[in-house]
Amino acid sequence: MSETTPFTLEVAPGTAIHGVVDLPEASGPRPAVIICHGFKGFMDWGFFPYLAALLAARGFTVIRFNFSGSGMEPGGDRATDLEGFRESSFSGDLRDLLAVLEAAPSLAPGRVNPQRLGLIGHSRGGGCALLGSAHETWQGRIRALVTWASVSTFDRFGEEIKSTWRRTGEILVPNSRTGQQLPLGLATLNDVEENREALDLAAAAGRRRAPWLILHGSEDETVPVAEAKALEAAAADPAVLEILTGAGHTFDCRHPFAGPTPALTTAMNHTQTWFRRHL
């Protein structure tokens, strides 16, 4: 297992995120990979620690963290910060990621090469990673991007749901793993509707410069594979799309993690090869 170091980072007044750095055995500044988890996910969900350890074993410094709107607190595996979850937004996720990118060298002093940064994100986190790679401050500095089962749009709510949402001020989001009904306030809906241009993933796909690997399961029922094809089509510079035949949204993995599935092994092989080639 890799050596891990926890950190806390203030991303806005009164708002902090918690994360972990997985360090490789090799000393000195190393290429770094930042992991973005998805909706209702967290940095220790399922395959993320396994992914981080594997990349660290390949010589990368790996940074993973809980988004401030995840509802998760350090060491937990169910949402307990329900107010944080209620006020979550896609713009808030991007703010968190940009803060981590800026702070990366100080999170692991002497172990991060700031000129060799890569991003990987799953599902909603894939969309955030794409936005980060296309951000004006970072689009020329992110050297590699990998997305797993990424969404192609953040506007995923039908008009009937939106109407109810506006009327009641929140919707309840079921978490089948924990049995919780998680409250999602108007911040998310307002963010989607008021910041369409800034959150446009197709436009971000056209702006981003980093070599981009898109991995998606053919049997993903949460984010249909058509969304991966839409992202590939929107990419100005060519992106590489790999469709994993028979795989679902989480590459057939669950939490607690019970070991790698064939689909996850394939995804991880593609991912480490991509980062080793481009970072």
- If you write DSSP's letter for every residue of 178-226 in order, what string do you get? TTEEEEEEHHHHHHHHH-TTTT-HHHHHHH--S-EEEEEETT-SSS-HH
The pLDDT assigned to 150 comes to 99
- The answer to the question of residue 175 being in a domain is no
Q: What's the rounded Cα separation, in Å, for the pair 195 and 210?
A: 24
Helix/strand/coil for 53: helix
Residue 208's domain comprises 3-155+188-278
Within 13 A of 51's CA, how many CA atoms are on the CB side?
34
Q: Taking the model in full, what pTM does it have? A: 0.98
Is residue 179 domain-resident? no
Residue 1 has pLDDT above 70, yes or no: no
Q: Residue 109: pLDDT band by 50, 70, 90 thresholds?
A: very high
Residue 30: inside a domain:
yes
Is 167 among the domain residues?
Answer: no
Q: Residue 130: inside a domain, yes or no?
A: yes
Whether 176 is covered by a domain: the verdict is no
| Cross-strand pairs, 122 | 148
Query: For 43, which DSSP code?
Result: T
* Tally of domains in the chain: 1
The answer to whether residue 162 sits within a structural domain is no
pLDDT for 227 equals 99
User: Tens digits of per-residue pLDDT, 155-192?
Assistant: 999 999 999 999 999 999 999 999 999 999 999 999 99
Predicted confidence band at 237 (pLDDT cuts at 50, 70, 90)?
confident
- Residue 241 is predicted with a pLDDT of 99
121 within some domain: yes
Residue 83: CATH number of its domain: 3.40.50.1820
